[in-house]
Amino acid sequence: MSAQTSPGTSALDVRLPGIDPTLYLVTDSAQCASVNRSVAATVAEAVAGGAHVVQVRDKDVSDSEFLALTLEVLDAVETVRDREGIDRPVPVFVNDRVPVAAELNAAGHLVHVHVGQSDMGPALVREAIGTQPLIGLSAAIPEEFRIARETGVVDLVGIGPVYDTTTKKDAPGGIGPARLRDLAAEAGIPSVGIGGIDVARAPELRGTGVEGICVVSAICLAEDPRAAARALREAYGA
């Protein structure tokens, strides 16, 4: 995924062909459970509503449990794509669990990997999962973007938190839309904004240079995840 961009072709087209990262859902098992809904059911409804990138995240389960959860999500995504006639791919990322991703890919289930700055480095992730899966990376400062560009293996960066958030423990304060715009321009890699984004704030992120918005609680805690996804896309202007 490190091909050079040819004239008339955007970096997004090269790195994420056919993929729509406008609305990117990161799952939270505890939040889904708190509203009596499974992660897979939440994902299915969100994808039907327009969340066309999904990241499975659960820091509190074993690798075997996480693998089973990811398989449930993969099945939910394919079922809803068939049912709703969604032609474009809906990539499923796993958060950090590189061995799980490698095992799933070896078994024929295409999954991608998102890592943070304290997780396995992107170059090592690429060695572990091969050339086909995408690699996402959380980044927040110019030096992190520079390193990401130099690896040549990062396909998408998550920038944030854009707003203050309690979803992720020990998250720093929100950077705001203006700083997001600066960092998206600095990144040199397709990016999404993440952190504290909801329907009310999504319009503030139009024109910031990111390819989309990434949400957790705005969908996972929603009474109707499908309606929530539609509302978020509309608010963002997609």
Residue 60 · residue 29 · CB < 8 Å = yes
Is there a binding annotation on residue 233? no
Q: Give 236's contacts (C-beta < 8 A, 6+ positions apart).
A: 22, 23, 202, 203, 205, 206, 212, 213
Quick one: three-class SS letters along 163-196? CCCCCCCCCCCCCHHHHHHHHHHHHCCCEEEECC
Tokens linked to 207: 């024109």
Residue 51 CA from chain centroid, whole number: 10
Is 6 among the annotated ligand-binding positions? no
Residue 85 assigned as binding residue: no
Residue tagged active-site, from 15, 29, 57, 126: 57
Is 138 within any annotated ligand binding site? yes
Q: Is 217 annotated as a binding residue?
A: yes
Give the other-Cβ count within 10 Å of 113's Cβ.
27
Q: Is 169 annotated as a binding residue?
A: no
Q: Is 34 a catalytic residue?
A: no
Report, in angstroms and rounded to the nearest whole number, the Rg of the chain calculated over CA atoms: 16
Residue type, 15: R
Active-site residue among 97, 126, 138, 201?
Answer: 138
Identify whether 62 is a catalytic site residue. Answer: no
169 is catalytic: no
Residue 101 DSSP SS3: helix
Name the catalytic one among 81, 126, 168, 233. 168
Please check if 95 is assigned to a binding site: yes
Helices assigned H by DSSP within 11-139:
11-15, 29-34, 39-49, 63-84, 98-106, 122-129
- Residues belonging to the binding site for Mg(2+) are 96, 119
Binding-site sequence positions: 55-59, 95-96, 119, 138, 165-168, 196, 216-217
Catalytic residues, by residue number, are 57, 138, 168
